[in-house]
Amino acid sequence: MENFNYKGYRANNILKAFGQLQDIQKGEGSRGGKVIGHTSSGKPIYENLHATAKEYSDFTKEDHQDAHSRHQIIRNQHSHLKENPTEEDIKIANHHNLRRKGHFKFLNTEPGSKWNANKKFKKEE
């Protein structure tokens, strides 16, 4: 395979490029979610995911605090704090306000508890 050439490209170069493309396709945000920031521990914060999404399953309280703060900053940039907010600004502000509130719920949990789909805290055993 090493001696195979296609328009001057060696086979191993083509395979390396393909491998790099696959790595890019598996990166954060590659599944359709827009990354709007990162936590202080380096985890991505997504624009459209609820705080209970599987992508956030390993978030600590600090990570949820960072996500809460990032959504709050974006909300404030598009909210009534803006001089002349448009309808689109209000829509964006409301969206990020909901995402912010979702992360806020995780800031008031006991250690070892998780927020479940029934909106109640349950103690993990």
**Does 113 fall in a domain?**
yes
- Shared domain for 53 and 103, answered yes or no, is yes
| Tens digits of residue pLDDT in 86-116 | 999 999 999 999 999 988 888 776 544 454 4
pTM (2 d.p.) = 0.64
**Does 73 fall in a domain?**
yes
Q: Are strands 113-115 and 5-6 parallel, antiparallel or unpaired?
A: unpaired
The pLDDT value recorded for residue 10 is: 59
- Shared domain for 42 and 2, answered yes or no, is no
In terms of Cα–Cα distance, which of 18, 96, 86, 13 is closest to 51? 96
Which token pair is 79? Answer: 């909210």
- Shared domain for 3 and 49, answered yes or no, is no
**Does 125 fall in a domain?**
no
The distance between the two most distant Cα atoms of the chain, rounded to a whole number of Å, is 65
Domain of 6 in residue numbering reads as 1-30
In terms of Cα–Cα distance, which of 73, 62, 74, 75 is closest to 103? 62
The pLDDT value recorded for residue 28 is: 64
The pLDDT value recorded for residue 18 is: 55
The pLDDT value recorded for residue 70 is: 93
**Does 110 fall in a domain?**
yes
The pLDDT value recorded for residue 16 is: 61
Q: What are phi and psi of 115, to 5 degrees?
A: -85, 120
| Tens digits of residue pLDDT in 36-76 | 999 999 999 999 998 988 888 889 889 999 999 999 999 98
The pLDDT value recorded for residue 120 is: 40
